[in-house]
Amino acid sequence: MILNVLYLLATITFIFGLKLLGHPETAKKGNLIAASGMALAIVATLIFNEHEVSKKVYTLIGIAIVVGVVIGWVIAIRVKMTKMPELVSLFNGFGGASAALIGVVEFSHTGDNTLQMITIISAIVIGSLTFSGSMIAWAKLNGMMWKDIRLPKYNLINNIIFIGLIVFGAYIVWSQTESIFVVYILLSTALIYGVLFVIPIGGADMPVVISLLNALTGIAAAITGVLYGNMVMMVGGILVGSAGLILTFAMCEGMNRSLVNVIFGQFGETETEGAEGSAAALKGTYKSATVSDVAILMNYSQQVIIVPGYGLAVAQAQHAIHELEQILENKGIKVKYAIHPVAGRMPGHMNVLLAETNVEYDKLVEMDDVNPEFPNTDVVFVVGANDVVNPAAHNDPSSPIYGMPILDVENAKQIIVNKRSMKPGYAGIENELFYNQKTSMLFGDAKSVIQGLITELKGM
C-alpha cells in the first residue's frame, strides 16, 4: 500500500515536472521536481519491495546508482549546448539498451504466458534497434562517422528486415520456445536493423530520427513497466514516448518530412540531386559589409529582428547577442528574436541557449507569429542560421528542403547574415538568401562580430 502511494506521488512529479519544462523560466524547477520523483521511486522500490533481496543485490544496486549519478553529473556539467543533440541521442541509446537487457533476463521466466511473452519480445526488439540506431546517430553527430553509407536498394533491405523482425517475433510467441539462442538471434537482428535504419540518413534529417528514437525509448520503457506491473516505469515511459512522438511530428513538419518517410527510411534519397539542382540555379554575386556598416544600419532602425542559429551556439555568443539587444533597446529600437522550430538542430535549442543569458521569454517569437512582421522590419540580423531562412524552400522544387516552413526573412527591408564563410549549411545546399539584393554578408566568428557591433554602437 505504501509503495503504491509513493509511486503515485512520483508519477505526479513526472507530470508536473513535464508541464514546467514547457517554459524556460520554470524548466529548471521542473527538471529538479521530476528528478526528485524518480529518486523517490527508486528509494521506495528498494525499501518497500515485497520480494526478498539479498545484501549482495542491494550492494550491486547501490554501486550502480553511485556510478550512474557520477557519470550523469559529470556529463551534465561538461556538455556544451552545441553537443546537446548528441547527448540526447546517447541517452536514448542507454534507455533502449536497458529495456532490451530486461527483456533478455526475463525471457526465461515467462512460461506459457503469451501476453508476457509478447511484452518481452517487444521490449527486446524496440530496445535493441533504439540502442544501435542511437549509437550510430551519436557517432554521426559527433563527427566520428561523417559519411552517409548507402547500400544498393537499402530501403528494400531495411523493410525486409523490419518485416522479418515482426514475423520472427510472432513465431517466438506462437511457438512458446524456451531457447535463449532464438532470443539472441532476434536481438542481433534488431541491432542490425537499427544500424541500417540510421546509416543512410543525411545530416539534415538527423534531428528527425533522434526525435523518433527518443519516442521509441519511451515506448520500450513503458513496455518494461507493463512487464513488471510497475506504474512508475509505465507512466514515465508513456510520458517520454508521447512527448517524443509529439516532438517527432513537430520535427517532421519543421524539416518537411512525413512520419511514413521517417519510419520507412526515405531520408535523403534526392538530397544530392536537390543540392546540385539548387546550387546550379544560383548565379550572381553577394555583397559584404563591415561591422561599422551594420552598426550604422542598426543604429537608425526602428525594429531589428535577430535570427539565432547553430553558429551562434558554436561561437558561444549568446551573452554577446543579449548585450547587443540591450544596447539597441536603450536606443529606443524594438528588438525580437525569430525562432524556427528546428533552429539549432532540435526544437527548443535556441530557446534554452538564450534563456541561459536571461533573455526575456516574450522576445522569443515563434515562426508563425514573427513571419508577418518581417515586411515592417528595418533590419534582420541572421546569426549562424542557414537552412531555416533559405527561400529555396519556397522557390526551388528541386531542393531537398522545398516545402519546408522557413522564416521569411527575405521580406525584411535589410538583411544582414553573419557567417564564417559562404559554405552551405546543415542540409548541404546553397542559400538563395545570400544572393538577395537586400542581403549583406558579415563574415567572421559570431562572438567577435557581435562584440564589434557592441563597441561601434556604444560610440554612436
| Cα–Cα distance, 367 to 342 (Å, whole number) | 10
Mean pLDDT along residues 351-368: 85
Pair (209, 259) in one structural domain: yes
Residue 254 neighbours by CB under 8 Å, 6+ apart: 340, 341, 342, 347, 404, 405
Burial class of residue 36 in the structure, from the number of CB atoms within 10 Å of its CB (0-12 exposed, 13-18 middle, 19+ buried): middle
Q: Let me know if residue 274 belongs to a domain.
A: no
411 and 325 inside one domain: yes
Does one domain contain both 327 and 443? yes
Q: Say which range, 146-150, 191-195, 309-313, 344-348, has the weakest mean pLDDT.
A: 146-150
Residues 151 and 52 in one domain: no
C-alpha cell at 425: 549549411
**Sequence-ordered list of residues with C-beta below 8 angstroms from that of 29, at least 6 positions apart, any chain:** 20
Would residue 417 count as lying in a domain? yes
Domain limit, last residue, from 48, 78, 108 = 78
Mean pLDDT for the stretch of residues 30-55: 87
Q: Of the candidates 320, 406, 313, 322, which has an alpha carbon nearest to the alpha carbon of residue 363? A: 322
Q: What proportion of the chain, given as a percentage, has pLDDT over 70?
A: 89
On the question of pLDDT at 202 being above 80, the answer is no
- At 92-116, the pLDDT tens digits run 889 899 989 988 988 877 767 788 8
Q: Domain of 231?
A: 82-269
pLDDT for 16 beyond 70: yes
Select from 225, 246, 269 the last residue of a domain.
269
The pTM of the full predicted model, rounded to 2 decimals, is 0.73
**CA–CA dist 111, 54 (Å, integer):** 25
Active site residues: 387
In a domain, 276, yes or no: no
Sequence-ordered list of residues with C-beta below 8 angstroms from that of 34, at least 6 positions apart, any chain: 13, 14, 16, 17, 18, 21
Given pLDDT bands bounded at 50, 70 and 90, which one contains residue 279? very low
Maximum average pLDDT range among 20-24, 165-169, 194-198? 165-169
User: Are residues 202 and 227 both part of a single domain?
Assistant: yes
CA distance 120 to 224: 8
Confidence (pLDDT) at 427: 60
Q: Are residues 101 and 233 in the same domain?
A: yes
- Asked whether residue 207 is assigned to any structural domain, the reply reads yes
Residue 211 CA to residue 322 CA, distance in Å, equals 29
Lowest mean pLDDT: which of 8-12, 358-362, 448-452?
358-362
- Does residue 279 form part of some domain? no
| Residue bearing cell 508577418 | 372
pLDDT of residue 27: 82
pLDDT tens digits for range 60-69: 989 999 999 9
Mean pLDDT in residue range 280-290: 71
Closest by CA position to 200, among listed 120, 246, 269: 269
Instruction: Tell me, yes or no, whether 221 and 98 share the same domain.
Output: yes
What's the rounded Cα separation, in Å, for the pair 430 and 357?
Answer: 32
Task: Please return the burial class of 166, using the count of CB atoms within 10 Å of its CB with bins 0-12, 13-18 and 19+.
Answer: exposed
Least-confidence region, from 21-30, 180-189, 413-422: 21-30
CA 422 to chain centre: 26
Q: Is pLDDT at 266 greater than 50 in this prediction?
A: no
Contact 341, 375 (CB under 8 A): no
The cell for 366 is 515563434
| The pLDDT of residue 274 | 37
Claim to verify: residue 164 and residue 49 sit in the same structural domain: no
pLDDT digits (tens, 9 = 90+) for 210-253: 888 888 888 888 888 888 778 888 888 898 888 888 888 877 77
What pLDDT, on the 0 to 100 scale, is given for residue 231? 83
- Looking at the fold, whether 23 and 90 belong to one and the same domain comes out as no
Same domain, 167 and 316: no
CA dihedral 170→175→176→178, nearest 10 degrees, is -110
Mean pLDDT of the 85-89 span: 82
- Residue 412 CA to residue 271 CA, distance in Å, equals 29
> Is residue 275 in some structural domain?
no
Please report the pLDDT score of residue 48 as a whole number.
84
Contact 227, 116 (CB under 8 A): yes
User: How much is the pLDDT for 254?
Assistant: 66
Mean pLDDT of 144-173: 80
Same domain, 293 and 369: yes
Q: Output the average pLDDT for the chain.
A: 84
Task: Note whether 301 and 334 are same-domain residues.
Answer: yes
pLDDT at residue 278 is higher than 80? no
In this prediction, residue 146 carries a pLDDT of: 55
pLDDT of residue 291: 93
First to last CA, the chain: 70
| Total domain count, the chain | 3
User: Do 103 and 162 contact (CB within 8 A), yes or no?
Assistant: no
Name residue, grid cell 522479418. 164
Residue finishing a domain among 246, 269, 292: 269
What is the domain-level CATH number for residue 318?
3.40.50.1220
pLDDT at 268 over 60: no
Task: Quote the Cα angle for 435-436-442, to 5°.
Answer: 70
Pick the residue with more confidence: 266 or 143? 143
Q: How far apart are CA 247 and CA 214, in angstroms?
A: 9
CB atoms within 10 A of CB 345: 21
Beta bridge pairs of residue 439: 415
Q: How confident is the model at residue 361 (pLDDT cuts 50, 70, 90)?
A: confident
Indicate whether 296 belongs to any domain: yes
**What is the identity of the amino acid at 79?**
V
For residue 370, pLDDT over 90 is answered with: yes
What's the pLDDT score for residue 148? 55
Q: Which span out of 20-29, 77-86, 179-188 was modeled with the highest average pLDDT?
A: 179-188
